[in-house]
Amino acid sequence: MTQSSVFPLSSVQLTGRSESHLVRMTCGHSMQAEAAEAFTQLQSDAREAGFDLAIVSAFRSFERQLAIWNGKASGQRLIHDDSGNALNANELSVDELVHAILRFSALPGTSRHHWGSDIDVYDQAAVSDDYAVQLVPAEVSSGGVFDPMHSWLDERIAADKSHGFFRPYASDSGGVAVERWHLSYAPLSLGCAAQLTAALVRECWNGCEEKLLLREELDAQLPTIIKRYLAVEENWCPARYYPAE
Ligand SMILES: [Zn+2]
């Protein structure tokens, strides 16, 4: 990998409308070069411990996130409650619908997966080749097929030996649900998070040709949504990763 990391990201990079900040990895996924390098190191530590740390999802584009959002907003894609029960979009108020989607899916333009710093992972050694990873709590919680690898990761993370990767969705404070499979490369993602503002998100939506469903409701609630669903807990990574003031 020869390309160095890009900072700050341009607004099109930050919102998933460009891939010019990314390198393609041998597994076929794309990340920023520095994060990809760090992931390779984490992967090699995992291998020594008997795990095959693999990526389900790394960079995701704005278009892809828009398709997920619109699919859920229109009822074409399933929405679940916290217990995994399917919700009927037609039976929810607009406000309920917005929050039911946001619990598990990011607003297009605001996904941490746009940044090239965040990944969803699993242990390829724990399942057969034809296993379809679902990224549901049952897979990663105690007794789940990927729990041993995540417990190993927890120890590395607690000791700050995880090559800069931490869990932004480790606890539930009423925003995004707990996602044990989601790792974020703090040295880059802290800066990306700081760049994201309501104005930048609106500019992104205005520049998009395809209609964003529920736009009116989202516009009205955007500052609150950003606070509740985009902000992660202060202590999600050690203080030493935060840029010096
Ligand atoms: Zn994720």
Please state which CATH number belongs to domain 11-234. Answer: 3.30.1380.10
**Dist. CA 104 → ligand 1 center (Å):** 9
- Strand locations in 128-210, DSSP E? 165-166, 182-185
Burial tier of 206 (Cβ tally within 10 Å: 0-12, 13-18, 19+):
exposed
Residue 166: phi and psi, rounded to 5, are -140, 175
Contacts of 192 (CB under 8 A, 6+ apart): 9, 14, 112, 115, 117
**Dist. CA 113 → ligand 1 center (Å):** 6
Helix (H) or strand (E) holding 30: strand 30-31
The DSSP symbol for 177 reads P
Given a contact cutoff of 8 angstroms between Cβ atoms, the answer to whether 122 and 181 are in contact is yes
**Dist. CA 182 → ligand 1 center (Å):** 5
Count CB atoms within 10 A of the CB of residue 224.
10
**Dist. CA 60 → ligand 1 center (Å):** 9
**Dist. CA 120 → ligand 1 center (Å):** 5
Model confidence, pTM:
0.94
Given a contact cutoff of 8 angstroms between Cβ atoms, the answer to whether 6 and 19 are in contact is no
**Dist. CA 58 → ligand 1 center (Å):** 8
pLDDT in tens, the chain (245 residues): 444 566 799 999 999 999 999 999 999 999 999 999 999 999 999 999 999 999 999 999 999 999 999 999 999 999 988 887 899 888 999 999 999 999 999 999 999 999 999 999 999 999 999 999 999 889 999 999 999 999 999 999 999 999 999 999 999 988 999 999 999 999 999 999 999 999 999 999 999 889 999 999 999 999 999 999 998 988 999 999 987 76
CA 224 to CA 71: how far, in whole Å? 23
Looking from the CA of 89 toward its CB, the CA atoms found within 13 Å total: 15
Rg (CA), the chain: 18
CA 233 to CA 184: how far, in whole Å? 13
Given a contact cutoff of 8 angstroms between Cβ atoms, the answer to whether 13 and 62 are in contact is no
Annotated domain spans of the chain: 11-234
CA 201 to CA 95: how far, in whole Å? 19
